[in-house]
Structure 1
C-alpha cells in the first residue's frame, strides 16, 4: 500500500475507534488517560450543547474537542529500538488537533528510526482566552512525568525523552522547554515527583512565539525565557510562514547567547501546516535533518 494511503486508512480507523469509545488502536498501540482522577483545579468545563456540537464535527483529519488528555503509545520495533522517546504535540491553533498529519503519521516515522513515540491528545478548544496554552501546558507537563514514571515498562531511557510539536503544538513544545519550572498543577501521584523538563525540544513551524501570541510581531513573548538549562533544540520553519521564521530565528539567537545546543532549518518555501507529508519544496525533507541531529546529539545511542 502506498505510503500516504496507508496513513489515510489508519486515520479513518482511528476516528472510527473514537466514535465507538475504544482506546485500543492496534496490538501495541494503546491510548492512555494521563489524569487518574479529577482534572487539575481551575479546569474550565464547557457547556453540554457546545461539546455536542464540537464532537459532531469530528473528521478523519481533525479532532475538535478533548476534555481528558491522553497519550497514544507507539512502541519502537524491538529490532530498531534505541531507548529514545518523544511526546508529539499536534497543532491546530489550540482549537483543534491535526491528529493524523501532525500526530499519528509522525509517530510512525519516529518508529522507523527506533524511537518510541507518544502522541499527546491535549485539551482543546481554548478555554481561557488570555492563557490559551494553560490547560495544554498542564497536559504536557503531566505527560512528560507520566512517561518517565513508566519508562521501564516501555524500555525507554527517561533521560532521552523529548517533545516535538507543530504550529500551536510547536508553541506548546517550546513552553515545555522554557517553562518547566512553572508549577501548572498540584501533585497527583508519585509520577509528579519526577522532572517535567524534556531532554530535547523540536518546535516545527511554531506559532505564538511573539508577544501577545501575535505571529506578525518580530519579537519573542515574555514567556519565552531561555536560560542555560533550556533543552537542546531543533527547529524547522519557512520564510513564507508569516513572521514565524523570524521568531524562530530570534529564539535560535537567544539559545546561542545562553550556550544551548540548537539547530535551525529555515527554508524559503512551504508555508504552514505541512507536517511530514511530501511536496516539491525542500522543507518536506526537514525530518531527514531532524534524524541527523538526533543521531549526532547522541539521543539515538543506547
Structure 2
C-alpha cells in the first residue's frame, strides 16, 4: 500500500478532527468482546490512548468518516441478522493503512448491509498502529512482511466465532471474511496463513480452525511486490478459500496491480475466484453511494455468495 492511503484516511477522518469518546463503542444493544483473556501477544507500544475521531467537514457519500487509532485492546462486536438468519457469518476488517480503522465507512456500514441480508456480522477492531506498516519513517518494508499483530487478532477472532457458533446460531462451515484496503490484505493473510501458528494457544477456542470458508477482498493493498509478483507472505494454495476481489482501475492508492497479482495467483492455484474491475471508483468508498457503477458492488458480492453456497438462493428464501 502506498503512503497516499495514510494521507487519504487521515485527511478524511483524523487531522484536525474533533475527538470523540476515547475508545470506540458500538451502538446501544451491541457489546464488544475482548479477543484476548489477558495482555495480547506481541503487544506493541502505542503512541497514546485509543482515540476516536470524526470530521464533519470531510465527507464520503454525504457522511463523515469515523476513525479509531491506538487500538491496544482488540475487540470484536457481533451484529445479529435482522429477520431471517441464513446461518452465514462474515468477519469485517476495516481499512486504514494499519494506522487507523475506518470503523464506520468500512465497518458498521458493512454490518448494516450484511445483517439486513440475514448474515451475522462480526466487526473486528484489530490493533493499530501495527508494525511493520509504520509510515512515520523510511523503515517500512513495503509488500514484504506479515501484519503482526493484526493477523494474530484476525486468526483469534475467527477461532472465537467458531467456538460460539451454537450460541450465535452460525453454521461453522459458512464463516467468511471481508476487508477493505489494509483490511483486504488482512483478508488475504488470514486466507493463506491458517496453518501457520503465530501465537501460543490461550484457551480451548484456539483449537478451532482459523481458515475462512470464503473471502472478499475490496480494493486490497500490499499484495504485489515492487516487481509485480505476489507478496511471499500471502502463500496462495489450492486450500485458499473461494475469493471475491473488487478494484477500481483509477485507484491511486492501491493500484490495480494489487488485485491482478492476487487474482492470477488464486487462479493458478485452482481457487474458485471472481474478480470485478471498474474503470472508475477510486479508493475508500466502502458501501456509500456514488455516481460510479462500482457503487453497486454489494449486489455482486451477494450473488457470488449465493453461487458458492454461502447464502441461500432466491428460491430458498
Q: Same fold (TM over 0.5)?
A: yes
Q: Does 1:89 align with 2:105?
A: no
String of CA shifts for 1:228-283, please: whole Å, max 9, x gaps.
10000001101111463222122212211221111000100011000011011111
The residue that corresponds to 1:26 in the other structure is: 28
DSSP 3-state at the match of 1:32: strand
Tell me, in whole angstroms, the C-alpha distance in 2 between the residues paired with 1:151 and 1:244: 37
String of CA shifts for 1:61-89, please: whole Å, max 9, x gaps.
11112001101111102x32100000000
DSSP 3-state at the match of 2:178: strand
String of CA shifts for 1:107-160, please: whole Å, max 9, x gaps.
010011110001100000124455461100000000000110011111001110
* TM-score, normalised with respect to structure 2: 0.82
The residue that corresponds to 2:275 in the other structure is: 264
Q: Which runs of 5+ in 1 are unaligned?
A: 1-15
Q: Which runs of 5+ in 2 are unaligned?
A: 1-17, 55-64, 133-139
Q: 1:235 to 1:22 in 2, by over 3 A?
A: closer
Q: 1:219 to 1:127 in 2, by over 3 A?
A: closer
Determine which structure has the larger helix proportion and give its number: 1
Tell me, in whole angstroms, the C-alpha distance in 2 between the residues paired with 1:24 and 1:294: 27
How much is the aligned-residue C-alpha RMSD, in angstroms?
2.2
Q: Does 1:133 align with 2:157?
A: no
Q: Does 1:283 align with 2:294?
A: yes
DSSP 3-state at the match of 1:117: strand
Determine which structure has the larger strand proportion and give its number: 2
The residue that corresponds to 1:35 in the other structure is: 36
Tell me, yes or no, if the aligned pair for 1:94 and 1:132 is still in contact at 8 Å.
Answer: no
Q: Does 1:183 align with 2:197?
A: yes
The residue that corresponds to 2:126 in the other structure is: 122
Runs of 4+ aligned residues of structure 1 deviating over 6 Å after TM superposition are none
Tell me, in whole angstroms, the C-alpha distance in 2 between the residues paired with 1:123 and 1:270: 28
Q: Does 1:107 align with 2:111?
A: yes
Tell me, yes or no, if the aligned pair for 1:238 and 1:268 is still in contact at 8 Å.
Answer: yes
Figure out how many residues of one structure are paired with residues of the other and give that number. Answer: 276
The residue that corresponds to 1:220 in the other structure is: 230
* TM-score, normalised with respect to structure 1: 0.85
